[in-house]
Amino acid sequence: MKRRHLFGAAAALLASLSLAGCNDEKKVESSAEPKAAASEAPKTYNWKMVTAWPKNYPGLGTAAQRLADRVNAMSDGRLTIKVYAGGELVPALEVFDAVSRGTAELGHGAAYYWKGKVPTAQFFTSVPFGLSTSEMNAWLTRGGGQAFWDEAYAPYGVKPMVVGNTGMQMGGWFNKEINSLQDLKGLKIRTPGLGGEVLTRLGATTVNMPGGEVFTALQTGAIDATDWVSPYNDLAFGLHKAAKYYYYPGWQEPQAVLEMLINQKALDSLPDDLRAILTEAAGAASRDMVDDYVYNNAMALDQLKQQGAQLKRFPDEVLAAMREQSDVVLGELAQQSELNGRIWASMKAFQEQVTPMHEISEKELYNWR
């Protein structure tokens, strides 16, 4: 049964009665606020979601669309969300601004894309050598992380929610081998967020650009290397056709939160049930995206190997230097504001607390199977 149709039927009936000139108008007015009922119902919210992803991009873009579809189904069409690819309505890296000023009610992207505007945002995508996917989620929902995130975005009238996680990423695609720290010097590499800053300290030149531009930049030699995501997305962009070596581990992004941005005023305008629907859809889409990456990364890694991608591990010496510089960069970021200091202290404490449990559980599993 479609409720909105029923509702529409009731409204149509009221209208027809009115047009028919029912004689008993007084009676009508004394009943339960019929005019308000007829004019307010069924209130429909038609929202826009701007994203940082290419059209229908696997994993990232499809998760945004899935969320929109499910909200539509759960609300029986009372809350519809039209999803826009990066560049359709606003450029990929201007999603945050668009939601902040109300051009769109919703956005989907990654917090570190807006680091120029909100440096604090960098904590909320990924921290090098930091929390894993399940740990990051637990810190956000149970360890106080969400409250910090809300605090960071509140001045811009934006409410963030997790919608997805790519899981642990890869180190990236390189057109030259990295055999020592020396090989990083002068390297032109696309790596956003804190990982990019670490590479800068190690002598590389880092740039940020949306995913849609990465392949061409790598193929033309405008950059020597790039991180992107993991096999699923990297195969979709054909990055193995633009670079020879595929490095691991993804030290710079042990997990990566994707965020839904919500214009706070728009959120406040929703009735309670639609707010609950939007919130739960975010939770369900988050789980679904992780499933998507776990499954498709496994399949895509196979294909990349078959198509000639050469898997390489960063040397221990390089990883050690990366970790050392990560601590420096994070320490400096923590110094930039009182809020940053509180966030970093909380994350570090949680990582220390949660590590002993992983030592005796999943680490054992992966080492034993």
* Residue 291 assigned as binding residue: no
Nearer to a copy of itself, 76 or 97 (CB): 76
Three-state helix/strand/coil letters over 229-289 = CCHHHHHHHCHHHCCCEEEECCCCCCCCEEEEEEEHHHHHHCCHHHHHHHHHHHHHHHHHH
CB of 108 to a copy of itself, least distance (A): 17
Task: Compute the residue count for the chain.
Answer: 369
Nearer to a copy of itself, 67 or 121 (CB): 67
Nearer to a copy of itself, 208 or 310 (CB): 310
* Residue 227 assigned as binding residue: yes
Nearest to 172 by CA among 369, 296, 313, 71: 313
Nearer to a copy of itself, 129 or 237 (CB): 129
CB of 117 to a copy of itself, least distance (A): 29
CB of 308 to a copy of itself, least distance (A): 16
Indicate the SS3 state at residue 301.
helix
The burial class, CB within 10 Å (0-12 / 13-18 / 19+), for 119 is: middle
Kind of pairing, strands 205-207 and 188-190? parallel
Nearer to a copy of itself, 220 or 367 (CB): 367
Nearer to a copy of itself, 39 or 216 (CB): 39
* Cβ atoms 292, 63 nearer than 8 A: yes
* Cβ atoms 209, 222 nearer than 8 A: no
CB of 258 to a copy of itself, least distance (A): 13
CB of 129 to a copy of itself, least distance (A): 6
* Cβ atoms 97, 156 nearer than 8 A: no
Beta bridge partners of 50: 84, 107
* Residue 3 assigned as binding residue: no
* Cβ atoms 125, 347 nearer than 8 A: no
CB of 121 to a copy of itself, least distance (A): 21
* Residue 169 assigned as binding residue: yes
* Residue 368 assigned as binding residue: no
Instruction: Please enumerate, by residue number, every residue annotated as part of a binding site for Na(+).
Output: 228
